[in-house]
Amino acid sequence: MAINESCCCSAEEEAAVQAAINDFEPIRTNLIPILHRIQDELGQIPGWAMEAVADKLDIPLADVWGTASFYTMFDLKGRAKHIIRLCESPPCHITGAKKVLEALKDELGIEPGEVTEDGLFGLELVSCFGVCGVAPAMIVDHQVYGNLTPEMVPDVIAKYREG
Amino acid sequence: MPFYRAHVLVCCGNTCAVRGGRALLQLLAKEVEQKGLAHEIRVVETGCLGISEHGPAMVVYPEGVVYAGVKASDVPDIVEEHLLKGRIVERLVYRGQQAAPLEPAAKLTYFGKQQKIILQNCGVIDPRSIEEYIAVGGYEGLGKALTQMTPMQVVEEVKNSGLRGRGGAAFPAGLKWEGVADAPGLNKVVICNADEGEPGNFKDRLILEGDPHLVLEAMVIAGYAVGANKGYVYIRGEYRQSVDNFEHAIAEARKIGLLGTNIFDSGFDFDVFVYKGAGAYVCGEETALIESLEGQRGEPRLKPPFPTAHGLWGLPTLVNNVETLANVPHIISQGAYWFSGIGTERSKGTKIFSPCGDVLTPGVIEVPFGISVREVLYDIAGGPKGADIKAVLIGGPSGVVIGQESFDRKFAFEDLSPGAGAMIVIDETKCMVDIAANCLKFFADESCGQCVPCREGCKRMLDVLEGWTRGLGDSGELEMIKRLGRGMQLASRCGLGQFAPVALLSSMELFEEEFRAHVVDHVCPAGVCDMHETAVEIEEQLTWPK
């Protein structure tokens, strides 16, 4: 995985990143909170933002990248508008996550780890996020969907297609 | 405070919210307002009642009637019939899995076999109101500790209660507290481990969403006992509602001086900060959590030194699980003697379980130690959803697999250890090899990659197991996997690698026939695995030197 080099950031994005950085005391322990803020603001953590963070905290860029890439909630590639995260841990696996996955693959025409051609959806398989009472479950962006059946998939996807 | 003749508590916990709890809350509030009842009936948002599968749920007090599966169209009925005319809407009443006579919540079987101590406020009070928490006796424990007890007495009380860690390792909490209290150093830290990531567990989320002040109060008591002035709650990033409710609780407590300087005029200062995890299961391991809190990759440290002596920034650090801490205010306010009267001889208090998978009523329940697996599965969780129950994965993928013959065993540290409390129920239609492979997939994904036994071991095990589920097994591999598993248990740096093979090894022992069928005969008895890669293809794939 390479750092997203594109620096076609808008002035707004740059301001958002600067604001995120300046909101915290520039110490190492605040690295993850800063990254969280950038992820929330931009929906991803681009390379130029990591450089800005490294500068401010006075640590190597490699260190920022090494930490950011360790955690699954940080998206360093920023590929899709909506990320669909389907849980594949045992409680969801037992209650039929595989069938839901098939339905998602059919509906989107992609495999897990890929992005649709229009850049609208990314599909990921993730570990448990603690809503096992309504397994199988998935998260689209921050919205949780539970008690999923393959039949429900097209409706959910349609909601996001319409925007 | 105005006086209300009835309270309606609508569950807006994560799972009920998924099923439309929040919309229902707004609708209900509007309807109550329209009927001119706003001054006599209070509609409250609350945490989960533990019957998430049947959500959205609500309770109407003073009767204590539980309504479940409520739809928007039911709201006018509830307001008109129940709140206005006092007639209970029978068709919506939650009766557990079978029709029972209409009774208040406390008497239903589902709730009846439970003993709610930690969860007593969940679904009863508004988690975003410190006044309600105080009204039900909240912060009494803290007041007692700070004004009537020395720090040493608090540690003694926790020791005498027999409380043990609820995160899975079951270390005696009092000893840990004593370790930190006795460690040299002026600055010490209390950390609440709310990085609940073990699949099948969602109890900590429920506590944080439904009763955040309970955990906050416990942290202040812990800080006083061990001599710390700072506390951190490390909440996993996916638990947005927990983060939100806890931050709200902190702000409320700061406002009225229950956090900050000179709490209860005792001269004791303490403050708490929320730290959001970013998606790494391994951070539930205490030293990995500490690394993460320091802004690093969440890679576990070598132990010793233990965090009690050398933790966050090298300071003596107390790390306790959410549920462990949630016991503390009750222990302090009601005494160690009271607490040690609950449970069994060597396992004191209650334990929260989260049955899920192939079970009729998944959810979160609280029972005293000493209860049998069968009671939890059949009397409380309603038994199987469809086919008979074949096995239960206790504690999650890092726990053990038990079969029917163990269902009369009792949950207690001296009998069947409950782990963190997950009970993943597996019925007859499922394949144990497939599930074991699924568990290993989880560990292979979540291994931090720092030490070889775990990084390579999980991956190799997964490769072999996936082969078994595709009909590519070789009889020699049965023994090889057991050897590999023992190696991982002995040599991995942290619990992740040490416990990764446990479910597989216990499953292989219990369901030997099923594993042999896959590996030797290339047949899946449950018909789950796709064994299409026939013997000829296997031969082709095995042309490389063995």
* Phi–psi pair at B327, nearest 5 degrees: -75, -30
Give the mean pLDDT of chain A.
91
Q: Please identify which residue in the block is written with the tokens 């897990």.
A: A112
pTM of model > 0.90: no
| DSSP annotation of B362 | -
Please give the average per-residue pLDDT across B312-317, as a whole number: 97
- In chain B, which residues have their Cβ closer than 8 Å to the Cβ of A36? 237, 276, 278
In this structure, the number of other CB atoms found within 10 A of the CB of residue B540 comes to 9
Grade residue B546 by pLDDT with cuts at 50, 70 and 90.
very low
C-alpha–C-alpha distance, residues B133 and B121, integer Å: 8
- Rounded to a whole number of angstroms, the distance from the CA of A1 to the nearest CA of chain B is 17
Q: pLDDT at position B5, please?
A: 80
Cis omega (within 30 of 0) on the bond before A91? no
Domain boundaries A82-161, CATH class: alpha beta
The predicted-structure confidence for A19-51, as pLDDT tens digits, reads as follows: 999 999 999 999 999 999 999 999 899 999 999
pLDDT at B98 over 70: no
Report pLDDT for B537. Answer: 60
Instruction: With a cut of 60, say whether residue A141 has pLDDT above it.
Output: yes
A139 touches chain B (CB under 8 A): yes
Which residue in the block uniquely carries the two structure tokens 């506590």? B207
B226-251 tens-digit pLDDT? 999 999 999 999 999 999 999 999 99
Query: For B52, which of A33, A129, A133 is closest by C-beta distance?
Result: A133
Q: What is the pLDDT of residues B367-407, one digit of tens each?
A: 999 999 999 999 999 899 999 999 999 999 999 999 999 99
The SS3 assignment for B338 reads helix
For residue B94, name the pLDDT band (cuts at 50, 70, 90): confident
> Residues B16-57: pLDDT tens digits?
777 778 888 888 889 888 888 888 888 888 777 767 667 788
Contact residues, A window 23-82, toward B, CB-based 8 Å cutoff: 27-33, 35-36, 66-67, 70-74
Instruction: Identify the helix (H) or strand (E) that includes residue B218.
Output: helix B212-226
Nearest Cα residue in chain B from A57: B295
**pLDDT tens per residue, range B192-214:** 999 999 999 999 999 999 999 99
Whether residue B544 has pLDDT greater than 70: no
For residue A145, the one-letter residue type is: Y
**CA–CA distance from B30 to each of B13, B42, B65 (Å)?**
20, 11, 21
pLDDT in tens, B488-533: 999 999 999 999 999 999 999 999 999 999 999 999 999 999 887 6
Burial of B539 (0-12, 13-18, 19+ CB in 10 A): exposed
Would you tell me which residues 83-122 of chain B have a C-beta closer than 8 angstroms to some C-beta of chain A? Answer: none
B317 touches chain A (CB under 8 A): no
Per-residue confidence (pLDDT) for residue B93, from 0 to 100: 84
Q: Is the pLDDT of residue B77 over 70?
A: yes
Q: Where are the domains of chain A?
A: 11-70, 82-161
Please list every residue in chain A whose beta carbon sits closer than 8 Å to the beta carbon of residue B430. 94
Interface test with B, best of A70, A101, A147 (most B CBs within 10 A): A70
Interface probe for A, chosen from B11, B195, B202, B394 (most Cβ of A below 10 Å), is B202
Give the closest of B15, B278, B364 to A32, CB-based: B278
User: Which structure tokens are listed for B415?
Assistant: 């009998």
pLDDT tens for each residue of B108-154:
556 678 888 999 998 888 999 999 999 999 999 999 999 999 999 99
B261 CB-contact burial (10 Å; exposed 0-12 / middle 13-18 / buried 19+): exposed
Nearest to B278 among A74, A93, A137 (CB): A74
A121-126 and A138-140: which strand pairing?
unpaired
CA distance B212 to B248: 9
- B400 shares contact with chain A (CB less than 8 Å): no
Which residues have C-beta within 8 Å of that of residue B190, sequence separation ≥ 6?
A: B219, B222, B223, B226, B228, B230, B231, B232, B317, B318, B320
State whether residue B396 sits within 8 Å of chain A by CB: yes
Yes or no, beta carbons of B295 and A32 under 8 Å apart: yes
- Mean pLDDT in residue range B313-321: 97
Backbone angles phi, psi at B493, to 5 degrees: -75, -40
Largest CA distance in chain B: 83
Angle at B438 between CA B296 and CA B379, to 5 degrees: 105
Judged by CB atoms closer than 8 Å, whether chains meet at A133 and B239 is answered as: no
**Candidate from B363, B424, B445 with C-beta closest to A91:** B424
Give the CA diameter of chain A: 51
pLDDT of residue A3: 52
Residues near B157 by Cβ (< 8 Å), separated by ≥ 6? B149, B331, B332, B335, B336
Are B197 and A88 within 8 A, CB to CB?
Answer: no
B446 touches chain A (CB under 8 A): yes
Burial class (CB in 10 A: 0-12, 13-18, 19+), B434: buried
Inter-chain CB proximity A135 and B357 less than 8 Å: yes
Q: Is A140 on the interface with B (CB under 8 A)?
A: no
Beta strands in B240-336 (DSSP E): 260-263, 268-276, 317-321
Interface residue A142 vs chain B (CB under 8 A) = yes
- Measured CA to CA, the distance from residue B496 to residue A156 in angstroms comes to 35
When pLDDT is averaged across residues B324-335 and rounded to a whole number, the result is 97
Which candidate, B157, B231, B523, B14, places its Cα nearest to that of A132?
B14
DSSP B388: P
CA B174 to chain centre: 21
